């Protein structure tokens, strides 16, 4: 509980600091919403022209962006320190987190926020609202959607942590970490109906991009207990693996620091 309180305090302090520059704060939020609008208009028009794609209808794109950009907004908006890991490691600034008795992962994750990602969060909620109204979601489907948003957020945080933790093993791992993360993110924002066969297996079980947006949409439209259990178990799996990988990688940083390479 103390670690959670500390994390909430860090997030609150970072948010208050960001709000000090009110014009920049508001501009970054609005700018990101407009930027995302361009993508969803593109995919929506694509769906209208092509029609039904493997069960995906044009307005399902709003559901996809509702889940994915909400998850992106929460994680990047309030736990942006995870994405600073490569720069912390390469510059030696990670040392200060090793000296604290608090939970290292939580301290790092809440060390920074992204104001533009708050625009993603707002955009995602608007998209989901449109998807819910157009699809005529029942109360049960709406409740399931909220649970799936939490799942999407955990998946996004977990795989992002794995990507950024790779930098512990490489002298210049920032490019590799960023490249892998960009591939994960891009696939998660791609039209869900386009993933079939081997490609679908890869982006569900190896790189869990579809767990962030496409599968939640499909589950809401056609809920089956087995599929939900599979998604839930995979979410727990990725969360545990990401935390274990982070702390195992942390040992590598300590040994590098000892020989003069980590800082």
Average pLDDT over residues 144-148: 95
Nearest to 74 by CA among 31, 132, 15: 15
What pLDDT is recorded for position 83? 93
Which SS3 state, helix, strand or coil, does residue 52 take? coil
- Give the tokens for residue 253: 């940083």
Under the banding of pLDDT at 50, 70 and 90, the label for residue 260 is very low
Q: State pLDDT tens for residues 37-57.
A: 888 988 888 888 888 888 899
More confident residue, 85 or 3: 85
Nearest to 239 by CA among 171, 143, 161: 161
Under the banding of pLDDT at 50, 70 and 90, the label for residue 98 is confident
Neighbours of 10 (CB within 10 A): 21
What is the chain's length? 263
What pLDDT is recorded for position 32? 86
User: Which residues are within 8 A (CB) of 195 and not within 5 positions of it... i.e. 6 or more apart?
Assistant: 187, 203, 210, 214
Query: 88-97, 209-218, 248-257 — which one is most confidently predicted on average?
Result: 209-218
Ranges of each domain in the chain: 2-259
- Taking the C-alpha atoms of residue 230 and residue 245, their distance in angstroms, rounded to an integer, is 22
- Give the tokens for residue 84: 């600073």
| Average pLDDT taken over every residue of the chain | 87
- Tell me the whole-structure pTM to 2 decimals: 0.89
């Amino acid at each position: 509980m103390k670690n959670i309180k500390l994390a909430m305090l860090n997030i609150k302090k970072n948010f208050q600091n960001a709000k000090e520059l009110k014009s920049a704060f508001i501009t970054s939020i609005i700018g990101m919403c407009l930027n995302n609008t361009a993508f969803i208009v593109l995919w929506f028009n694509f769906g209208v022209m092509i029609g039904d794609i493997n069960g995906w209808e044009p307005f399902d794109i709003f559901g996809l962006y509702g889940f994915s950009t909400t998850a992106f907004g929460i994680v990047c908006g309030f736990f942006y320190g995870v994405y600073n890991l490569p720069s912390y490691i390469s510059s030696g600034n990670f040392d200060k987190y090793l000296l604290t008795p608090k939970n290292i992962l939580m301290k790092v994750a809440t060390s920074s926020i992204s104001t533009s990602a708050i625009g993603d969060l707002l955009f995602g909620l608007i998209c989901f609202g449109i998807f819910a109204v157009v699809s005529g979601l029942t109360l049960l489907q709406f409740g399931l959607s909220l649970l799936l948003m939490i799942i999407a957020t955990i998946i996004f945080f977990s795989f992002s942590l794995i990507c950024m933790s790779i930098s512990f093993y490489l002298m210049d791992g920032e490019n590799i970490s960023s490249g892998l993360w960009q591939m994960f993110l891009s696939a998660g924002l791609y039209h869900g109906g386009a993933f079939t066969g081997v490609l679908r297996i890869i982006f569900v079980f190896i790189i869990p991009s579809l767990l962030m947006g496409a599968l939640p949409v499909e589950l809401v439209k056609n809920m089956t207990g087995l599929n939900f259990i599979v998604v839930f178990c995979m979410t727990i799996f990725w969360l545990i693996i990401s935390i274990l990988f982070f702390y195992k990688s942390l040992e590598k940083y300590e040994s590098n620091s000892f020989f003069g390479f980590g800082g």
